Amino acid sequence: MSDSWVVVPLLLCAVAAIALAILTVRDRRRLSASAARERTLTDRVSELEHEATTTTLATAEIRPLDNNPDPEPGDEIDGEEGSLTDASTGLFNEQFFRVSLDTRVSAARRHLRPVAVVLVQVSEGVREGAPSPVAPDLVAEGVRATLRDADTACRLDDGRFALILEDTPENGAVWTVERVRRALALERPGQTLWAGIACYPAHAFDAWELFDRAANALEAAREWHQDRIEVATAD
C-alpha cells in the first residue's frame, strides 16, 4: 500500500511532464509557422511594391518638377528615350525619380516609417566668385560611396542630384549629406555643396509637397557662399 502512494505521484508527475513537453513543442511549431508566414508576407509585399514600381514606370506620365533652376552649362542630359539611367553618371534619371518618390512615400505611409528627400548641388569656384558645376561623375562617385543599398540616388534633368533615403528621419538625412560632403572634399578640395532636406511625415505628407519643400530648402542653402545644408520647415 505504501508503495502505491509513492508510484501514483510519480506517474502523475511523468504525465504532467509529457503534457508540458507536448504543449511546448506545439507552441514552438506554431511560432515557427507564424514566423514563416510573416516572412512570406514580407517578401510578397516587397515583390508587389517592385511590380508596382515597374508597372508605373511603364505607364508613367511626365510630371514637371517645379522650382527647378535653369540648367547651367554642362548640365544637359544625354540619354535614350525610355532609359531609366542618366548617361553622364550611371545613376537613375528623373523619370525613375518621379515614380520612385511616389512609391517610397506610399510605402512609408503604410509601414509608418520616415523617408527623406534630399536635393543636392555641387559647384566649384564659389569662393572666387566664378562658380561652375562640378563634373557630375565625380559627384556621383561620392554619392555612391556614401548611400546604403536601400537608398535611391538620381540625377535630374537640370543637373541636380536627388536622393531618397529609406527609413531616415531629419537628423539621419543631415548626417548622410555631411558624409557625402566629406567624401567629395577628400577627392577634390575647394568644392561647395548645397543641400535641401525634407522628411516624411515631419515636413509634408504628400510626395510632391515633400519635393517642393526640399527644393525650397535647397534654394535657401544656395544663398550661402559656402557649404550649406538646409532642412525644410513644416510651415
Q: Which residue shows C-alpha cell 505521484? A: 9
pLDDT of residue 6: 58
Geometric angle at alpha carbon 17, from 16 and 18, rounded to 5°: 90
Q: What is the pLDDT of residue 7?
A: 62
DSSP structural state of residue 143: H
Res 32 pLDDT > 50: yes
- With bands split at pLDDT 50, 70 and 90, how would you rate the model's confidence at 61? very low
Please give the pLDDT value at position 16: 73
Q: What pLDDT band is residue 88 in, cutting at 50, 70 and 90? A: very high
CB 199 within 8 A of CB 234: no
Is the pLDDT at 143 greater than 80? The verdict is yes
Query: All 3 cell numbers of residue 69?
Result: 533652376
Domain extents in the chain: 60-231
Report how far residue 69's alpha carbon sits from residue 110's, in angstroms, rounded to the nearest whole number: 33
Q: What pLDDT is recorded for position 77?
A: 42
Q: pLDDT class for 119, splitting at 50, 70, 90?
A: very high
pLDDT tens digit sequence for 157-198 = 999 999 999 999 999 999 999 999 999 999 888 899 999 999
pLDDT band, very low/low/confident/very high, at 113 (cuts 50, 70, 90): very high
- Most confident stretch, 7-11, 130-134, 152-156, 187-191: 152-156
Q: What is the 3-state secondary structure (H, E, C) of 69-133?
A: CCCCCCCCCCCCCCCCECCCCCCECHHHHHHHHHHHHHHHHHHCCCEEEEEEEEEECCCCCCCEE
Judge: domain 60-231, CATH 3.30.70.270.
yes
Please indicate whether residue 164 or residue 68 has the higher confidence score (pLDDT).
Answer: 164
pTM of the model: 0.68
> In this predicted structure, what is the pLDDT of residue 50?
55
pLDDT band at 234 (very low <50, low <70, confident <90, very high): confident
